[in-house]
A and B are shown apart, each in its own frame.
Chain A
Amino acid sequence: QVQLQESGPGLVKPSETLSLTCTVSGDSISSYFWSWIRQPAGKGLEWIGRVLAGGTTNYNPSLKSRVSMSVDTSKNQISLSLRSVTSADTAVYYCARAPLADIWGQGTLVAVSS
């Protein structure tokens, strides 16, 4: 059974970098794309981007200048970095198996505040 678990700081200061990790268990990350998706409280889902094990990435144009994703196949982990954060980046962040998003992590809340 494939499981995804997001981890990282729950609080980030404005202008700093948000860094999250998604650990995949039960499957090799080499076979799929992996997406990051976020959801501000009370709002809809926003696709951040996706990464393939070989390093291929696609990002949401609205975030492209600040986001990067990578894969560590030795640890079966996917990473997300979002630079220069503001309060607008406060959200629950999910990782999901792409392209169908058929498997999701439980999500992790990241608040941006000083």
Chain B
Amino acid sequence: DIQMTQSPSSLSASVGDTVTITCRASQGISNYLAWFQQKPGKAPRLLIYAASTLQSGVPSRFSGSGSGTDFTLTISNLQPEDVATYSCQKYNSAPHTFGRGTKVEIK
């Protein structure tokens, strides 16, 4: 099975900063990669699919890139409401494995 390695596991940044989270697949998955945001006690929320397509209603400060094995989620102009855990997921074929998550905090 394809493994998804996400890094870092946590980060702390200031309001207005740009933060980058990476996700690496152990084999190529084309662009079948989604990013989720999860706040404490809530269900995950789809942010990006097809590696770079923004889900409806998601602020444009979120962006995704990559293809094959290496993917990136970028949050520009970090806002207090962006404090959450972010996870990647492959969905090209079963199993639809998740990365272990990145916890984003505000300094």
Contact = CB atoms under 8 A, between A and B. Distances in A.
Q: Do A and B bind each other?
A: yes
Interface of A: 35, 37, 44-47, 49-50, 58-61, 94, 98-102, 104-107
Interface string B74-99: 00000000000001010100111111
Contact of A100 (B38, B46, B97, B98): B46
Contacts, number: 57
Contact of A45 (B45, B55, B101): B101
A47 B43 contact: no
Closest CB pairs A-B (n = 5) = A58-B94, A104-B43, A45-B98, A44-B100, A47-B96
Given A45-B38, A59-B94, A94-B43, 17 more contacts: A46-B98, A47-B96, A47-B97, A47-B98, A49-B94, A58-B94, A59-B95, A99-B91, A99-B96, A101-B34, A101-B91, A101-B96, A102-B46, A102-B49, A104-B44, A105-B43, A106-B43
B36 interface: yes
Interface of B: 1, 34, 36, 38, 43-46, 49, 55, 87, 89, 91, 94-101
Given A44-B87, A45-B87, A45-B101, A107 B95 contact: no
Nearest to B94: A58
A27 to B, nearest CB: 16
A78 B97 CA distance: 21
A50 B1 contact: no
Contacts of B34: 100-101
A77 to B, nearest CB: 18
A44 B49 CA distance: 19
A49 B94 CA distance: 8
A101 B89 contact: yes
Residue with the highest number of chain A CB atoms closer than 10 Å, among B49, B91, B100: B91
B6 to A, nearest CB: 9
A35 B97 CA distance: 12
A61 B95 contact: yes
A47 B91 CA distance: 11
22 contacts: A35-B96, A44-B87, A44-B99, A44-B100, A44-B101, A46-B98, A47-B96, A47-B98, A49-B94, A50-B96, A58-B94, A59-B94, A61-B1, A61-B95, A94-B43, A98-B91, A100-B49, A101-B34, A101-B91, A102-B46, A104-B43, A104-B45
